[in-house]
Amino acid sequence: MSHFSTIKTELRDRQALLAAIGDLGHTASEGERPVRGYRGQVVTADLAIAQDNGADIGFRWSEASGCYELVTDLDLWQQPQPLERFLARLTQRYALRTILAATAQEGFQVTEQSDRLDGAIELVVTRWSD
């Protein structure tokens, strides 16, 4: 018997998040730093992407939810795509990075990886077992 699952991705793993940020062409700096968030309130982020106007895009670890949350001041958003699209793309790359790392650790090898016209990524990994 095999199974089929649908999983809602959450940004839980720091390394995969850093890799996903890199995939989108950004560099995140690590270490605590103040970032302007909702209505200009300053919060401490654990990772941050610098924007030219000085309003960083931060990621703050939330103990309550067990994942990273994006923190930024939307009035100063400078990315070419809206926040929702940015976060969706980031989450998709995060999912890919997480699956690649976790399955490699389990001894799987990538046999297929392709970008579909509808924007989804198809990935097939295999391994032999007794």
Show contacts with other proteins in window 48-87 (CB under 8 A): 67
Placement of tokens 């295999």 in the chain: 126
User: Taking the CA of residue 104 as centre, how many other CA atoms within 13 Å lie in the half-sphere pointing to its CB?
Assistant: 7
Rule CB under 8 A: is residue 1 a binding residue for other proteins? yes
Question: How far is residue 84's CA from residue 22's CA, in Å, rounded to a whole number?
Answer: 18
Question: How far is residue 89's CA from residue 108's CA, in Å, rounded to a whole number?
Answer: 25
To 10 degrees, what angle do helices 83-105 and 14-23 make? 120
Residue of 5, 31, 54, 64 that binds other proteins (CB under 8 A): 5
Inter-residue contact 35 to 72 (CB < 8 Å): yes
Rule CB under 8 A: is residue 99 a binding residue for other proteins? yes
Rule CB under 8 A: is residue 104 a binding residue for other proteins? no
Least distance in angstroms from the C-beta of 73 to other proteins? 23
Least distance in angstroms from the C-beta of 57 to other proteins? 17
Judged by CB, which is closer to other proteins: 15, or 29?
15
Inter-residue contact 13 to 98 (CB < 8 Å): yes
Question: How far is residue 128's CA from residue 91's CA, in Å, rounded to a whole number?
Answer: 30
Rule CB under 8 A: is residue 124 a binding residue for other proteins? yes
Judged by CB, which is closer to other proteins: 74, or 102?
102
Binding site for other proteins (CB under 8 A): 1-10, 12-13, 16, 67, 88-92, 94-96, 98-99, 101-103, 105-106, 108, 111, 117-130
